[in-house]
Amino acid sequence: MLIKFESRSARVKGLSFHSKRPWILASLHNGHIQLWDYRICTLLEKFDEHDGPVRGIDFHQQQPLFVSGGDDYKIKIWNYKLKRCLFTLLGHLDYIRTTFFHHEYPWILSSSDDQTIRIWNWQSRSCISVLTGHNHYVMCANFHPSEDLIVSASLDQTVRVWDISGLRKKNVAPGTMSSGISDIGTRNPNQVELFGQADAFVKHVLEGHDRGVNWANFHPTLSLIVSAADDRMVKLWRMNDSKAWEVDTCRGHYNNVCCCLFHARQEIIMTCSEDKSIRIWDLSKRTCLQTFRRDHDRYWVLSVHPTLNIFAAGHDGGLLIFKLERERPAFAVNGNLLYYVKERYIRMLDFTNSKDTAVVQIRGSKHNVHSMSYNAAENAVLLTTRLQNQDNCYYEMYQLPRDYDSSNPDTVDGKRSPGVTAIWVARNRFAVLDKSHTILLKSSKNELIKKISLSNVQEIFYAGTGMLLLKDQDTISLFDVQQKRNLAQVKMNKVRYAIWSSDMQYLALLSKQEVGLFNRKLELQCQVRENIRIKSGAWEASGVFVYTTSNHIKYSLLNGDHGIIRTLDLPIYLTRVSGDSVFCLDRECRARVLKIDSTEYKFKLALVNRRYDEVLHMVRNAKLVGQSIISYLQKKGYPEVALHFVKDEKTRFLLALESGNLEVSLHAAKQIDEKVCWERLGEMGLMQGNHQIVEMSYQRTKNYDKLAFLYLITGNLEKLQKMMKIAEIRKDCSSQYLAALMLGDIPERVKVLKQSGQRSLAYLTAQTHGMVEDAENIKSGFAENERIPDVYPKAVVLVPPPPIQSQDHNWPLLTVDGGFFDKAVSKASALSSLGGGLDKNVGAMAIIEGDDDGGAGWESDVDIVLDDEEETFQDAKQNDEDGWAVDELELPPELDIGANVGSAGESGYFVLPTRGQPPNQFWTNNSQLAVDHIMAGSFDTAMRLLQNQVGIVKFDELKPLFLSTYGRSRTAIISSPSLPSNIGYPQRNIKEVNARNSLPAVSLTLPNLFLRLQSAYQLTTSGKFVDAINKFRDILLSVPLLCVDSRQEIAEAQQLIEICKEYIVGLEMEVARKELPKNNIEDMLRVCEMAAYFTNCNLQNIHLILTLRTALNLFVKIKNFKTAAVFARRLLELGPKAEIAQQTRKILAACEKNLTDAHKLDYDEHNPFDICPLTFKPIYKGKAVIKCPLSGASYLPEMKGQICRVTRCTEIGKDCIGLRISSLQFR
């Protein structure tokens, strides 16, 4: 069983695949209906109008409809586009077990515990027939896929076959199309014509089960029926027009069998049972082929996709979607030839002429070939077959004939041997990974040459002659088979395929949802993550890696640029990419050639490699369209390139502004003629000193104040006077007075002040500037009781200085040469014979003035000038006599100590023995674990190890842990008061090795940390969040100081880190939320967001209930009833106490009356996200993220290099080798 998707939910009672889209409907025992996209593993929608369990569910094959039936006696028709129930069919008097659409007519078939089967017309919304005859619950009823038959199963221990041809004749109008869109009238149920048959009658009654029958199903093509019952048996029945009889019984289940179905393409039967198993039966032999069990969940229902080879099963804890076997074809590429296995033949496809021939016929097997390896020198292939039990895996070696008859290929017997993987590594050598994870090197005669024992090798891949790629749990190693050593290593999890470029210089490693591109030395070039499964890949000749996902063909350059080439209806497996053609195999093992548009990635590749002539050719001739190309050029700093082929005026305007091209910007602004564009153009013109464009922009936007100031600073007094007149016409006294002030026009200022009623200011202005007559006229207008202002006797007349020279021309700019593209366009415009490849709208405005010789910008990168004189470096001359000459040193006689310096026995004095070394001095040499170095007292090396392994850069938090660990490294035994204590060094491997190879006994163990975890849980439950945070952090920082002995304990330690991280982030966020102000609605919305984020932390159920209650109350207060209803349902699914559940149901009922949100929050419960511990903001799936190397906490990329808030000691985004707490991780 290959599980493709699995979800956790309440018990699943019904399943239905969509015929076209990657969707599945699941009806649950709690009354909900879930719509899942199983390709991207996302819950799309929930429907919950049923009251009680929903058992029947089915998609319509053409219309956007599905039908459901539940324990509330209701059949509901839903439209999944409108996301609501259209109408309800009433008539059944008890639980409804199954509901199915007819494949051709607008009918719905339902079975019920009221012992009846009903056929409904969903267009007229009425029941057109009631089938009675069963005398117990009818558990299932199914239409025949092609004939006018129905099969039903009941707890009365019978299976009945019903003929409904009469119903079809009466209710279906002549000429009705198969889509079922004509208006079909209704007839009375069970109406009998005078000389005719009934609408529906029982054709066969199948008796043979000893207990109630739960399910019955027709074979899609044969006259067979399969039934499953509570007597734990699965029976196969055959029928014809006159009778039906039992063929055989399949026994093996040891509890009630709930569901059964036929495989559409293979001769097998699939059943599920309450004994927690799914069984696969051979249809011809009626024997059990495979059994798949769960530990705790009973299976209830099965479903098969109408066209694809996938199945679904519903159980107590949710649903799973699976395949029975791998559908990826086995193939190998050698030059222009593709070898692949189809059915029982090895076939060869020539890429040059697309000739496909059968080479040989191989031994038949019911299992698919997993992989193929081809040896061109020996013309031999290795075929590996993998089974569920690795002990039964094997490989076969076939010698392919040089001459063969493609119409009648010979049958060849291969040499079969056990092995998990077999790969050619030399001309006459191949490597085999056996079941004990040992690499066997064998000759072309299948004879063992040598064994290479390595630990934890899970898979091997080809890496060139004499080389292998070894995969363990999280690393890939480049291994030299002859020297038996690793040459390079890279960390990448769960690698599935390794694909080399044709020159073996680059490697692509594919995991489930990740592509990593590396060079020959396994140095990472780039990494691409996908949201769906990656299927295959192939290198293009220019160094572009093309790969396929479930629904796309994509590409990736070595610098990390990637994109989509085209979409796919069904998955394919790439074998070769050549130009605009993609050679591939589909799941039916058919060789196909797809046409692709490679312009986009070739354009990017040429731009990256600075091949500007190719870029220019594509700009002129290729149809480069789309915002993705434009945004790519902007991102890479080439907006001027995009400017040459973009036709949309708004986009051209933005690109011209970014590249500083005012002429093109002006032309685009005139075409768009929007205020925002003119404002931005004015800003850019002011930055470049082009006051003519600035003037035009201010005039178009009617920004008179800025325009007047522009005239002032450019000395254009004539236009400034016009601005003063315009202000007078507009009756804008403020602008008019300001212009008069800037012009030094005193009479105009007096006039403006008089018109605006400011007589005192007008009098002062006139009197101060010597306008006596005007001042007297103003003075005469004052009333007797009004005070006439006094003139300041020392006032000085201030008049703006007149400009010496007005600025008629733009500010001078440095003249620069045009770039490669500008010069090319200029030449194309000058020489009409060359034709035009550019848009006419660009015109002369796109050409920057300058000489055609020389080159700035890109040109400097194109023209590479070499010096005439070559600078040579010569090696130093070697002299055999003078090279590394070391003279012999002779000691003088007074320093000669003779030859017998060490003979103590002869000289008659005693030599003290050399003092031994304590064991802890050997610990640092014997181990690479940080805890061993700490216990040895070597804190500096321990710090370096922790820095390299988990990125710890601040050790203040670890000081108490270091000291306590060091204190546990030795024992002190008091011998007598006058003597020092005897120091002992406990060792964990004292029985195995001597003192020089000893290792310290580590007292800190995983069970100790789990005990501390329980106390941290208690602190969390009691609401002591600060103490709980410190406790969780102490546990987390203690994990790198562990020493464990098994892979399981390593996994448990990683799980412990994840638990601590989730609680620290959640509790830190809760503490911060409580400290936030709640003065206005913005503060309240932020509080609600943080409460909602807290509910998405992976906590224990008791703590999750508390977080959901908090979020529920807050969201009800701000009237976000739709999201509050989601929290309420999640809370009820956790099974809280009775009083809490009762209160939550009341709130849920109130929210469902108005399923709307009053405020929009940054929270999407359907889109998975991580919480940034520094900002407490969500980082949704698909966005760029960096992680803490120890805790795994996710952060935004701009926070790289900061200290992690979770650990308070690790550097965010630091490149580390990972947690190391066991010697197993260094082997």
For residue 730, the model assigns a pLDDT of: 84
When pLDDT is cut at 50, 70 and 90, the band that residue 880 belongs to is: very low
When pLDDT is cut at 50, 70 and 90, the band that residue 236 belongs to is: very high
Looking at residue 846, the DSSP 8-state letter turns out to be G
For residue 194, the model assigns a pLDDT of: 41
Lowest mean pLDDT among 276-280, 623-627, 796-800, 945-949: 623-627
For residue 664, the model assigns a pLDDT of: 81
Strands, DSSP E only, in 174-327? 201-207, 213-218, 224-229, 233-239, 244-251, 257-262, 268-273, 277-282, 288-293, 299-304, 311-315, 318-323
pLDDT tens-digit series, residues 1042-1056: 898 888 888 899 999
Choice between 392 and 833, residue whose per-residue pLDDT is larger: 392
Choice between 172 and 1040, residue whose per-residue pLDDT is larger: 1040
- Rounded-to-integer distance, Cα 1170 and Cα 1179, Å: 5
* Mean pLDDT of the 864-881 span: 35
For residue 822, the model assigns a pLDDT of: 59
Q: Which of 335, 229, 231, 219 is nearest to 266 (CA)?
A: 219
pLDDT tens-digit series, residues 680-709: 888 888 888 887 888 888 888 888 888 888
For residue 187, the model assigns a pLDDT of: 41
When pLDDT is cut at 50, 70 and 90, the band that residue 16 belongs to is: very high
Q: Kindly list the distances between the CA atom of residue 1140 and the CA atoms of 70, 1110, 1128, 1137, 1147, in Å, as whole numbers in the listed order.
A: 27, 12, 11, 5, 11
Residue 888 has pLDDT above 80, yes or no: no
3-class state of residue 3 by DSSP: strand
- Rounded-to-integer distance, Cα 1084 and Cα 43, Å: 29
When pLDDT is cut at 50, 70 and 90, the band that residue 622 belongs to is: low
If one counts every other C-beta atom within 10 angstroms of the C-beta of residue 1026, the result is 11
Q: Kindly list the distances between the CA atom of residue 1037 and the CA atoms of 864, 1056, 1204, in Å, as whole numbers in the listed order.
A: 55, 11, 12
As given in the structure block, the two tokens for residue 492 are 């990448």
* Mean pLDDT of the 290-319 span: 89
As given in the structure block, the two tokens for residue 838 are 């550019």
- Rounded-to-integer distance, Cα 1058 and Cα 1196, Å: 19
Residue 123 has pLDDT above 60, yes or no: yes
Please provide the distance, in angstroms rounded to a whole number, between the alpha carbons at the two ends of the chain.
Answer: 32
- Rounded-to-integer distance, Cα 114 and Cα 39, Å: 38
Residue type, 1147: I
Which secondary-structure segment (H or E) carries 946? Answer: helix 939-950
As given in the structure block, the two tokens for residue 928 are 């690479």
Asked if residues 981 and 975 have their Cβ atoms less than 8 Å apart, the reply is yes
When pLDDT is cut at 50, 70 and 90, the band that residue 173 belongs to is: low
Tokens 């925002």, located at residue: 676
- Rounded-to-integer distance, Cα 1087 and Cα 1054, Å: 32
Strands, DSSP E only, in 1075-1203? 1169-1171, 1178-1180, 1186-1187, 1194-1195
What mean pLDDT is reported for the chain? 82
The CA R_g of the chain, rounded to the nearest whole Å, is 42
pLDDT tens-digit series, residues 707-762: 888 888 888 888 888 888 888 888 888 888 888 888 888 888 888 888 888 888 88
Length of the chain counted residue by residue: 1227
- Backbone φ and ψ of 1055, nearest 5°: -65, -35
Lowest mean pLDDT among 170-179, 448-457, 561-570: 170-179
* Mean pLDDT of the 1077-1094 span: 87
When pLDDT is cut at 50, 70 and 90, the band that residue 93 belongs to is: very high
Which secondary-structure segment (H or E) carries 972? Answer: strand 971-973
- Rounded-to-integer distance, Cα 1032 and Cα 1058, Å: 11
- Rounded-to-integer distance, Cα 507 and Cα 513, Å: 17
Q: How far is CA 1095 from the centre of its chain?
A: 22
pTM: 0.55
Q: Which of 635, 676, 623, 669 is nearest to 650 (CA)?
A: 669
- CB neighbours of 44 closer than 8 A, spacing ≥ 6? 23, 35, 36, 37, 1166
CA atoms within 13 A on the CB side of 1153: 7
For residue 387, the model assigns a pLDDT of: 79
Q: What is the dihedral of CA 334, 338, 341, 345, to 10 degrees?
A: -100
Looking at residue 1002, the DSSP 8-state letter turns out to be P
Looking at residue 850, the DSSP 8-state letter turns out to be S
- Rounded-to-integer distance, Cα 75 and Cα 901, Å: 106
